[in-house]
Amino acid sequence: MKIASADIGTNTLLLLLGEYNRTTKSDFQTTDIVILNDVHSIARLGEGVGRTGVISDEAFARAADILHHYKYLCDAHNVAHITAVATSAVRDAQNGHSVCERLGAILNCEIHCISGDEEARFSFIGTNETGNLCTVVDIGGGSTEYVTGENNAISHRMSLQIGAVRLHERFLLSLPPSPKSIIAAREEIRRQLALLPQAQAPSAATFAPGDIIGVGGTFTTLAAIDLHLAEYDSARVHNHTMTLETVSHITNYLLTTPLSKLLENPAIHPQRADILPAGALILEETLLFFGAASCKASTKGLRYGVLYDAFAQWFMHNHSNKQ
């Protein structure tokens, strides 16, 4: 059985193809899923949404081109089912429903515009591999999700209206940004972080975050910078640990370096260079908020959670029919 999950994000469009190797076991195990392909493309679907309130024709065209390719890949792998979700840009756009319908027609499936809470849940179950207490932080283009839990049981989750594209377009369009712009961006991040339940906790122990595990392009790119990678290496980036000091050092580098110089860094994807300083600010302020000494980058996240959930539903349906 082959299933694909598609993550229609504010900045990136992701496709994950998996196959379930059925055994005689009566319980569902994500370890029985073999990943066939994991594709990342940047469409910047949410470009300008914060200013105009709509997804532009140009952004739609970029996304449509990518999804035509994704549909070709799914057909080439004989994928039986595609589960697609859309996040912040589509949630916020006045024409989000129409965009979902048109993009869904390309994939020949319904694209579900999920809530921030659903996005947080999928990110958590797709990222927490150990079952230990942790907080998964998913820095996206339009929003950032914070999910705390252990053993796949979520204790706290919240989606905040801060993301790398949103923050960049509002405060950091000029690179390097002015000190005044950086201060304003930090103040907005802190204002959003104050909405988290951890900020209202009577005791820090009540909302202990555990390990901080980050997903999304900000985390993986900062890890690649820290590793001095000339070419992106998913195996080295996954589970790479960065200290707060390292994150602060890289953030300062990103905020004080002209865009032309950032584009010369082989660890930075050219289409991500302009929004990376904003993402790094969100990460640095997040670590300071939680009092965390370090964080770990994960190459998994939302698309894995969506794929696991789709396979679990298929397994339960298939298994119940054989009872």
Whether residue 323 is predicted with pLDDT greater than 60 in this model: the reply is no
Sign of CA dihedral 152, 239, 7, 139: positive
**Residue 127's closest CA among 316, 313, 308?**
308
Q: CA 203, CA 89: separation in Å to the nearest integer?
A: 35
**Residue 85's closest CA among 55, 107, 68?**
107
* Domain pair 2-116 / 130-299, same fold: yes
Question: CATH number of the domain at 2-116, out of 3.30.420.40, 3.40.50.10490, 3.90.650.10, 3.40.50.300?
Answer: 3.30.420.40
Q: Please say whether the beta carbons of 76 and 12 come within 8 A.
A: no
Give 263-297 pLDDT, tens digit per residue: 999 999 999 999 999 999 999 999 999 999 999 99
Give 155-193 pLDDT, tens digit per residue: 999 999 999 999 999 999 999 999 999 999 999 999 999
Q: CA 23, CA 25: separation in Å to the nearest integer?
A: 5
Q: How many CA atoms lie within 13 A of 161 on its CB side?
A: 8
pLDDT in the model for residue 176: 96
Quick one: angle between helices 179-193 and 276-290, nearest 10?
50
Q: Per-domain residue ranges for the chain?
A: 2-116, 130-299
Give 108-152 pLDDT, tens digit per residue: 999 999 999 999 999 999 999 988 999 999 999 999 999 999 987
pLDDT in the model for residue 103: 98
pLDDT in the model for residue 24: 54
pLDDT band at 44 (very low <50, low <70, confident <90, very high): very high
Buried b (16+ CB within 10 A) or exposed e, 194-203: eebebeeeee
Whether residue 205 is predicted with pLDDT greater than 80 in this model: the reply is no
Q: CA 310, CA 141: separation in Å to the nearest integer?
A: 24
Q: Please say whether the beta carbons of 194 and 188 come within 8 A.
A: no
User: How many CB atoms are closer than 10 A to CB 236?
Assistant: 13
- Using left for φ > 0, alpha for ψ between -120 and 50, and beta otherwise, residue 71 falls in alpha
More reliable by pLDDT, 318 or 118: 118
- Average pLDDT of the chain, as a whole number: 93
**pTM of structure:** 0.91
pLDDT in the model for residue 200: 76
**Residue 209's closest CA among 138, 284, 287, 304?**
287
Question: Phi and psi at residue 109, in whole multiples of 5°?
Answer: -155, 160
pLDDT band at 208 (very low <50, low <70, confident <90, very high): confident
Whether residue 7 is predicted with pLDDT greater than 70 in this model: the reply is yes
Q: Please say whether the beta carbons of 291 and 201 come within 8 A.
A: no
For domain 130-299, give the CATH number: 3.30.420.150
Q: Please say whether the beta carbons of 5 and 307 come within 8 A.
A: yes
pLDDT in the model for residue 201: 62
